[in-house]
Chain A
Amino acid sequence: MDFFSVLYYRFKKVWKAVRLYLVIAGPGLVVMIADNDAGGITTYAATGAKYGYHLIWFLLLLIPVAYYVQEMTVRLGAVTKRGHAEAIFESFGAFWGWFSLLDLMIVDWLTLVTEFVGMTAALSIFGVPAWLTVILVVLLMSIIVLNGRYWTWEKIALGFCLLNLIYIPAAFMVNPSLSEIASQGLIPNLPGGLNNELFFLLMANIGTTIAPWMLFFQQSSVVDKGLQEKDIKMGKIDTFIGAIITVAIAIFIVIVTGTLLNGAPIDDAATAAKLLMKMNHYVGAFMAVGLFDAGLLGAICISLASSWAFGEIFGWAHSLNTKVKEAPWFYISFFFTLATAGVVPLIPGAPLVLITLFVQVVAVTLLPAALVFLILLLNDKKTMGEYANTRLQNIVSTLIVVSIIILSTMYGVSALFPNLFQ
């Protein structure tokens, strides 16, 4: 074969792989980018404002953490064709099943409230009243979900994922010093030593990277999309690309706030957006739009995670490929969760700080259980066959899971007892 024939053959081969990836891509990208939800944006904005570029290296470490945990749900979903809730019920019995399902319902609902808080705060910067934001969001999500096709839903969700990249131009607009980013951010360091404040922020960053709903969402999403064993390789690539993008977005947010708001006290991303607007109108506006988009993406995925889990256990039809008539309970539970959570930020004097605290604490009860079940299920050779965890995968995933459990527990306990680690 001559040179051009070889080149053409290789191009065709790569193009075929890319096309296959584009068909299978979705669950991994959506779950990872939705992971940067309203709470996540706040954490990253606060990280940049407090420590500048100094913790970028730590965010990079979260790529393998997120990937190793989430890729297990791809294998589990593709092999068993069951969601995470159903897998727990079937493998570990009704006690652990109910525990996980009820815990998931509480965590998801509370997290959904925080997404609405983020979305209303973001649009209030542009003068949109909170009640109008809630109505618009519920209407928009109805249109997205009620189209009766998983594929259409996924493509729309991926569109919102693209909008999440708005932080990249924002970071370029603030003209950061690349040499400072490289010298301060890429060399592991703990600015000011490991004190309570830094430790809390590190734990918050880990807490936003791995959330319980993500495990349930991605596994159910893989099942609803109909991925098979043969698609696992591409599903894993999808998850890996998603993990890189989610951390990249986090780094760009840190660069924005680390450049313009270094040293400013940031309690939430909306405050950061308002402060940024005073310095650079467009960067502030980008921050606000990104916050709204992050809340919306989070809300789309979290409400679906709950509805899928309920459908699996109660035996209702629970696919986005079904019409409302065919799966009424699936859609009713979806809108019930969404509407009740949306109402909370509209209640005058609603205990929103307490709700945020509760999310951290309740998540700590569910996350370790869900992660332990995940590893045990991936070691069930009878079910998983050749896709069961290898020894190396077990060592890596167990190390990651144990670290996450210890740190998230400390995070949850420090939320309960703020003076404990001082």
Chain B
Amino acid sequence: MRTINQFFSKIREINQRYAKPTVEMSTGVKFSLAVLRIYLFLLVLLMIYKFITVIKVL
């Protein structure tokens, strides 16, 4: 139990340490990150679709 608590407190510490991105959020950076989010979202949708179709066949 203690180990698990220590692990989660470590995760919280990491999240706090890196809470603020240090890179200058210029328009280019914001645009790139937004495109990346959309790309990953679409990819995850495709994977879910594939997963559902495979499950249906089974």
Contact = CB atoms under 8 A, between A and B. Distances in A.
Interface of A: 89-94, 96-97, 313-314, 361, 364-365, 368-369, 372, 376-377, 379-380, 382, 409, 412-413, 416-417
B10 A382 contact: no
Interface residues of B, number: 22
Nearest to A99: B40
Contacts of A417: 50
Contacts of B10: 314
Contacts of A89: 14, 18
B21 to A, nearest CB: 4
B46 A94 contact: no
5 contacts: A90-B22, A96-B33, A376-B23, A382-B24, A409-B43
Closest 8 CB pairs of A and B: A91-B23, A93-B21, A89-B18, A94-B18, A94-B15, A416-B50, A92-B21, A91-B22
A369 B44 CA distance: 14
Interface of B: 10, 14-15, 18-24, 28-29, 32-33, 36, 39-40, 43-44, 46-47, 50
Contacts of B19: 93-94
A382 B33 CA distance: 19
Interface of A is mostly: helix
Contacts of B50: 416-417
Interface centre among B19, B28, B39, B44 (most CB of A within 10 A): B39
Contacts of A412: 43
B32 to A, nearest CB: 6
Contacts of A416: 46-47, 50
A96 B15 CA distance: 11
Nearest to A405: B39
Contacts of B21: 90-93
Given A314-B14, A361-B47, A382-B24, 5 more contacts: A89-B14, A93-B19, A313-B14, A364-B43, A368-B36
A369 B36 contact: yes
A97 B22 CA distance: 13
A289 B44 CA distance: 39
Interface centre among B18, B24, B28, B50 (most CB of A within 10 A): B18
